[in-house]
Amino acid sequence: MYIVYRCPKCGEFVLANTVNHTRTCPNCNHRAELKTLRIYGRAETPGEATELMKSLKAKEGGGEDYTPSFKRLNP
């Protein structure tokens, strides 16, 4: 399974595979422990995950800043 989280350091959305326990941010190289992160979305396939990232980033363009809101991400 894939998750989308937001890098605690730079705020970038990052895609991670949950078979791993940590993920390094491609933007700032900050290594985060997956279980400590706020999850913004989940996906079963890489394709789904990419779409999810896109929609999250699109929402981001709406001027909303850093509001923790993973609860409203139900499909």
Residues forming contacts to Zn ion in the complex (CB under 5 A) are: 7, 9-10, 12, 25, 27-28, 30
- By beta-carbon proximity to Zn ion, the closer residue of 25 and 49 is 25
Rounded to the nearest whole angstrom, what is the least distance from the CB of residue 10 to Zn ion in the complex?
3
Cβ(30)–Cβ(16) under 8 Å?
no
- By beta-carbon proximity to Zn ion, the closer residue of 9 and 38 is 9
Nearest to 13 by CA among 71, 51, 74: 51
Rounded to the nearest whole angstrom, what is the least distance from the CB of residue 26 to Zn ion in the complex?
8
Q: Whole-angstrom Cα distance, residue 68 to residue 5? A: 11
